[in-house]
Amino acid sequence: MPTDLAWPEWKGKPQAFLAQIDLTEIHRALPSFLPASGYLYFFYDQEQGVWGFDPKDAGGWRVFFSHADRASFTERSAPAGLTPDCIYHPTPIAAHRIDLLPDSQTLPRTDFVWDRDGDAYLELQSGAFENMHHHQVLGYPSPVQNADMEEECQLASNGVYVGNPEGYKDPRVPALKAGATDWKLLLQLDTDDDIGWMWGDVGTLYFWVRESDARCGDFSKVWMIFQCC
């Protein structure tokens, strides 16, 4: 990690380190609105106590962007207070492009009929990952539950509680919804026993960023959604 990167905490405890992403490699595989170089660092509450539907969850995850020279990086020891089961197994990754389908929940009902098209859709959807865990940067998410995560990010990040239907009655909701289209999937991390990731009951973490923020190199307002079975 860069020497100037301070290990984040949440409620007095260090957060678990999840991933270092080399954006140069990502750009080679798929040029996008993300910076063409630099590194992203992802952290999450070691107790998995935040899910992203409450505005008060902000800070329960952190994403840092660094342009530091890799030659200056130092290996960090886990800080005191981080439990052993939240010190995950180092796993090198290589970026390559895959073609994804949008989730079936988002498809027009006039074009998609589950009884007719469901099996073929599932085969194509799962085939993109070649029977591997559903870890990805950018693209369509693989929802465990609902597919309206862009809207949840927009509302929760703007102070609207979306953990129950009552929150959607907030008078600010209609005006805020228009901004949901700016939210893009940044990183999806699946449950993965090989790494030591078990998100709730075989769940997934979804980190989202406003495209306008990412283009400016601002990852301080990334929002996270946690879904599980």
In total, how many domains does the chain have? Answer: 1
The answer to whether residue 3 is domain-embedded is no
3-class DSSP assignment, residue 169:
helix
In the numeric block, the tokens 């140069």 are attached to: 24
Q: What is the DSSP letter of 96?
A: -
The answer to whether residue 111 is domain-embedded is yes
The answer to whether residue 49 is domain-embedded is yes
112 pLDDT more than 90: no
Average pLDDT for 123-147: 90
144 pLDDT more than 80: yes
The answer to whether residue 160 is domain-embedded is yes
Distance separating the N- and C-terminal Cα atoms of the chain: 33
Q: In what order do the strands lie in the sheet with 136-137?
A: 136-137, 183-190, 204-210, 223-227
3-class DSSP assignment, residue 85:
helix
Q: Residue 103 — very low, low, confident or very high, per pLDDT cuts 50/70/90?
A: confident
The answer to whether residue 157 is domain-embedded is yes
Q: Across the strands, what pairs with 33?
A: none
Q: Which domain holds residue 66?
A: 9-227
The answer to whether residue 146 is domain-embedded is yes
The answer to whether residue 1 is domain-embedded is no
Measured between alpha carbons, how far is 173 from 27 in angstroms, rounded to an integer?
35
Segment 60-99, tens digit of pLDDT: 999 999 999 988 899 989 999 999 999 999 999 999 999 9
CB-based contact 79:7 (threshold 8 Å): yes
Measured between alpha carbons, how far is 159 from 176 in angstroms, rounded to an integer?
10
Q: Residue 126 — very low, low, confident or very high, per pLDDT cuts 50/70/90?
A: confident
CB-based contact 120:126 (threshold 8 Å): no
Q: What is the DSSP letter of 33?
A: S
Measured between alpha carbons, how far is 228 from 44 in angstroms, rounded to an integer?
16
Measured between alpha carbons, how far is 50 from 136 in angstroms, rounded to an integer?
21
Measured between alpha carbons, how far is 128 from 99 in angstroms, rounded to an integer?
6
CB-based contact 28:207 (threshold 8 Å): no
Amino acid at 24: T
CB-based contact 18:48 (threshold 8 Å): no
The CATH number that applies at residue 64 is 2.30.320
Tokens of 145: 């539950």
Distance of CA 65 to the CA centre of its chain: 15
Average pLDDT for 92-108: 87
The answer to whether residue 50 is domain-embedded is yes
